[in-house]
Amino acid sequence: MSNETIEMLIEGGKAVAGPAVGQKLGPLKINIQQVLQDVNKKTESFKGMQVPVKLFVDTKTKEYKIEIGTPPTSELIKKEVGLQKGSGTPDKQKVANISIEQCIKVAKMKMDTMYTDNLKSALKSVVGSCNSLGVLIDGKISSQIRVDIDNGVYDNEINSEKTEPSEDKKKLLQTQLKEVQEKITKELEKLKAAEAEAVGVKEEKKEEVVEGAPKEEGATGKAPAGKEAKSAEVKKPETEKKK
């Protein structure tokens, strides 16, 4: 068996039989148009992006396998929501809100490199990556969305492979993000106030302990009452002896 590996860089969903492609594929005597159709089908989710493609060809049987290279999942998510970088504290700071449809789009892009043909499994992996970036999904955190996926809440979107949210949903995503951000801010303010109060109470108790502590002998020039009485008792027998 003789194999050839051809590497190409094409625009997602728009591979054409230009001179560069013809020069690489022509000598292999394979159906170039069919290859390009298959490449475009696999890269249609990458529209507007340059996509690395590897083509493995058996020169005897003319059979071929297409491998699509993709950026990391986190980079694709950031591109979808227009982020330069993720949150530094993803559990406290939510920086974006992505739709489940956009997550499906990313999942389709990454399926080849995830070694799964199950879109639902790929989707759950993408949702997990959103969490580490501080990105909400449909206004929820990833753990909630995973439960929804398992419970079939998004079966319609998954089965139809819907990859774009409606205009109304885009507006809703912004509203959801704002509401969650305000809620988190209020919770953090309450937590900060509670911590400050706890520190104040601790300081007050420390002062009370210091103020209530017994004074050491000699601090006022007088011995404690108990010791004075004991001294008198010791001297009494000497007085009686002189009598």
Kindly report, residue by residue over 13-56, the tens digit of the pLDDT: 888 888 878 888 888 888 888 988 999 998 887 777 778 889 89
C-alpha to C-alpha distance for 131 and 126, rounded to whole angstroms: 9
Q: DSSP string spanning 159-186?
A: HHT-----HHHHHHHHHHHHHHHHHHHH
Instruction: Between 38 and 84, name the one with better pLDDT.
Output: 38
C-alpha to C-alpha distance for 119 and 158, rounded to whole angstroms: 7
Backbone angles phi, psi at 55, to 5 degrees: -120, 120
Contacts of 95 (CB under 8 A, 6+ apart): 83, 86, 87, 133, 134, 135
CATH superfamily of 73-187: Ribosomal protein L11/L12, C-terminal domain (1.10.10.250)
Any idea which fold 3-68 has?
Ribosomal protein L11, N-terminal domain (3.30.1550)
Domain with CATH 1.10.10.250 in the chain: 73-187
> Quick one: pLDDT at residue 226?
55
Q: What pTM was estimated for this model as a whole?
A: 0.59
Max mean pLDDT among 38-47, 104-113, 142-151 falls in 142-151
